Chains A and B, each alone.
Chain A
């Protein structure tokens, strides 16, 4: 198969994915995640290379699971190798920011109806002091326990009752309402809430619990982010292993490295030091407070949304400091330079219904020097500070150069 044919096949498989939200279950049950395993965002990471926020999140998760009573003990276990650390990506999952998943955490289950594969992601905890930003105190653990005890089961029951939610259609609609599904998910979150509302009301569940869950969803503009990520994961995973394709199927960061995977190069990671995001800071914060870019959320860009769809989301362009309408359009056009095609389902009204650029080609990245743009939240580097701003980050060029070398050296 020629590269051209392989890429056509990979792109087709990606854009014709049909991600459906089908359940919410404990990770242990949904993913077969057993033992003392802590999954994290991004490419493989050794403990000593983890940034402080990532390390803090791992220790907190261990306390949440009850494997250790305090951080010192937890740290001990890690250093003695009594805990398995690994990328979410290796277990069919994705996670925002620190992206921590442990066995008892509830995860959304997204099934790609076109291929039958599944992807998983945690429930977004909300804003402020949360695990995904490396917050580590009791309030974090309390909330995680509540998610496992109440929110997960309620959502699971309600989603099952509804028979599954078509995420592709939902995101296509949200796109037309100004969301790009990375830094802006408010429309998508509302559409999801609307879809769940009836089932929530009819469910035979204690009305106080229903109220708490409803309030929880309503209070979080970014609630849908995690689900968008899982939709991306479910869409891209089947493309891994298409021989001779130069299409990118994974982009992810662990706070230290940026990593990519390529369809025609199997599950090899190509990593390089991650870049710092550039953008606007909330009052009281500045670049010196910022954590390096982190999280699996770049999967949103990998499927043709996020910064790639910025032309549909001028409000985000302002929010991330990219500029106004012109700059938003330029961002999308710049990404089109490095993509294999246009998405048939994600269309941008302000560009005459042009499809979003999708299917990053490593050859085009190296040829033009244009690296994928990612709309990203900026986390504080001190654990637990939370989000301190929003901006754009670029994928690291070295990853694509390494991948190109490997591609050239591959045996056909």
Chain B
């Protein structure tokens, strides 16, 4: 809960994954935003994507 209250006091700064139009809208409004040129992990191969996900989870802060 504290984290959400913190967010209320910060400037919203966005990382946008997916539909580029959302990032463009925020840019026009002067909101700091960076658009990720996202593409399906491992070229869309679900098995490899699952392997990757398993190896990333290891790193939770």
Contact = CB atoms under 8 A, between A and B. Distances in A.
Check A-B contact in the complex, CB < 8 A. Answer: yes
Interface of A: 2-4, 246, 363, 366-369, 401, 404-405, 407-408
B51 A369 contact: no
Contacts of B42: 366-367, 369
Nearest to B42: A366
Majority-rule SS of B interface residues: helix
Contacts of A405: 51
Interface of B: 39, 41-43, 48, 51-52, 54-56, 58-59
Contacts of B48: 366, 401, 404
A366 B43 CA distance: 8
Contact of A363 (B39, B43, B52): B52
19 contacts: A3-B55, A3-B58, A4-B59, A363-B56, A366-B42, A366-B48, A366-B52, A367-B41, A367-B42, A367-B52, A369-B39, A401-B48, A404-B48, A404-B51, A404-B52, A404-B55, A407-B55, A408-B54, A408-B55
A2 B58 contact: yes
Contacts of B41: 366-368
Nearest to A409: B51
A3 B59 CA distance: 7
A3 B51 CA distance: 14
A405 B41 CA distance: 15
B42 to A, nearest CB: 5
Nearest to B43: A369
Contacts of B52: 363, 366-367, 404
